[in-house]
Chain A
Amino acid sequence: KQEVTQIPAALSVPEGENLVLNCSFTDSAIYNLQWFRQDPGKGLTSLLLIQSSQREQTSGRLNASLDKSSGRSTLYIAASQPGDSATYLCAVLPGGGYQKVTFGTGTKLQVIP
């Protein structure tokens, strides 16, 4: 059974700092990995999706990397802003055409002005 862990559970940083969020998964046989953002009381917004054959994806100040062999993904946020404050979740889609995504536990990020 796939298990997805995110450490730390919470993170507080001053505005402008570069930061890295971590995601670990136990089964490396994945199809893709997504990073989501969830604002309080809201649904999830997909930020980046990395296919298993890719090593990284970039969107603006966000960069996600994937190392299947070690079962890890990182989300790098450059020059953090207060508007980046949210909970970030990673989600793993298994291979074999199966659509059952497993979500991580999330990292709650607070960027202090």
Chain B
Amino acid sequence: DAGVIQSPRHEVTEMGQEVTLRCKPISGHDYLFWYRQTMMRGLELLIYFNNNVPIDDSGMPEDRFSAKMPNASFSTLKIQPSEPRDSAVYFCASSLGARRQYFGPGTRLTVT
């Protein structure tokens, strides 16, 4: 298996622009997680899905953030409009039930 795939790996954008991050989970996994990692706040869970349904989005910082999972093999995290404080590394992870979580390589987002 190719593991969790994320794209793009790096994204540089200007403040106010829309940013879309993409994730393909491991085939057969029923949970998908979006995390954000910064030096100040560490690793934070933003939202997670079970069988394509959002279960907990309490970690999403603001209405500017939204996530979708239209099918079992694809999810997006969108920021609109982006702000400099959104600069971070965004990770996608997937798991089968409460077993190990497998992380993607991350997307490093820089908002100028």
A residues apposed to B, CB below 8 Å: 31-32, 34, 36, 42-46, 49, 89, 91, 93, 97-103, 105-106
Contact = CB atoms under 8 A, between A and B. Distances in A.
Contact of A43 (B50, B56, B106): B106
22 contacts: A31-B98, A32-B98, A34-B101, A42-B106, A43-B91, A43-B103, A43-B104, A43-B105, A44-B91, A45-B103, A46-B100, A46-B103, A89-B43, A97-B98, A98-B56, A99-B31, A99-B55, A99-B95, A99-B98, A100-B45, A105-B42, A106-B42
B74 interface: no
Given A100-B48, A100-B56, A102-B45, 5 more contacts: A34-B100, A43-B104, A44-B93, A100-B45, A103-B43
Given A100-B45, A101-B45, A93 B103 contact: no
A32 B98 CA distance: 8
B9 to A, nearest CB: 10
Given A101-B45, A103-B43, A93 B102 contact: no
Contacts of A49: 99-100
Interface string B85-112: 0000001010100111111111000000
A46 B42 contact: no
B98 A93 contact: yes
Task: Pick the 6 closest A-B CB pairs, nearest first.
Answer: A43-B103, A46-B100, A44-B103, A103-B43, A43-B105, A43-B106
Contacts of A45: 103
Contacts of A32: 98
Nearest to B4: A43
B20 to A, nearest CB: 19
A105 B91 CA distance: 16
Interface string B1-36: 000100000000000000000000000000101000
Nearest to B48: A99
A46 B101 contact: yes
Contacts of A100: 45, 48, 56
Contacts of A97: 98
